[in-house]
Structure 1
Amino acid sequence: MKQVLEVLGFIALVQGVMGLVHEFTGWQVGLVQRVGFLHGHEVYASVALVVLGVALFAAAESGRTG
């Protein structure tokens, strides 16, 4: 379960960072800008993905071993 949380956290963190890179540099990277209902709220969604990624990493580390 720990590995699943870490993989999901990594994906969320990378997508959030790429969404912020897209917003501030104009590079066409990430999936956040391609989701239609997020139009106009891409920065907030990217920040939420970064926070979610960090939270998933914290949850993976705080889980019981064994």
Structure 2
Amino acid sequence: MKKLLELIGFIALVQGVLGLVHEFTHWHVGFVQRLGLLDGYEVYASVALLVLAFALFAVAEGQGS
């Protein structure tokens, strides 16, 4: 379970960073900007993904080995 939480956290972290990179550099990377549902809220969604990633890492650490 710990490895699964870490994997999902890593994916959320990467997508959050890529979403912010897209917003500030206009490179076409990441998944957040491709969702029409989030038009105008891409920065908030990217920050939420970063927070989710750190929460998942914390839960994974609490799981132990």
- Does TM-score exceed 0.5, indicating one fold? yes
User: Secondary structure at the residue paired with 1:28?
Assistant: coil
Query: Which consecutive aligned stretches of 4+ in structure 1 deviate over 6 angstroms post-superposition?
Result: none
- Which residue of the partner structure matches residue 33 of structure 1? 33
- Which residue of the partner structure matches residue 50 of structure 2? 50
Are the aligned partners of 2:2 and 2:64 in contact in 1 as well (CA < 8 Å)? no
Structure 1 residue runs without a partner (length 5+): none
The Cα offsets for residues 33-65 of structure 1, whole Å up to 9 and x where unpaired, read as 001110000000000000000100000001144
Cα-Cα RMSD: 0.7
d(CA) in 1 for partners of 2:48 and 2:8?
A: 14
Aligned-residue identity in percent: 69
Structure 2 residue runs without a partner (length 5+): none
TM-score normalized by the length of structure 1: 0.95
d(CA) in 2 for partners of 1:39 and 1:48?
A: 15
- Aligned positions, number: 65
TM-score normalized by the length of structure 2: 0.96
- Which residue of the partner structure matches residue 2 of structure 1? 2
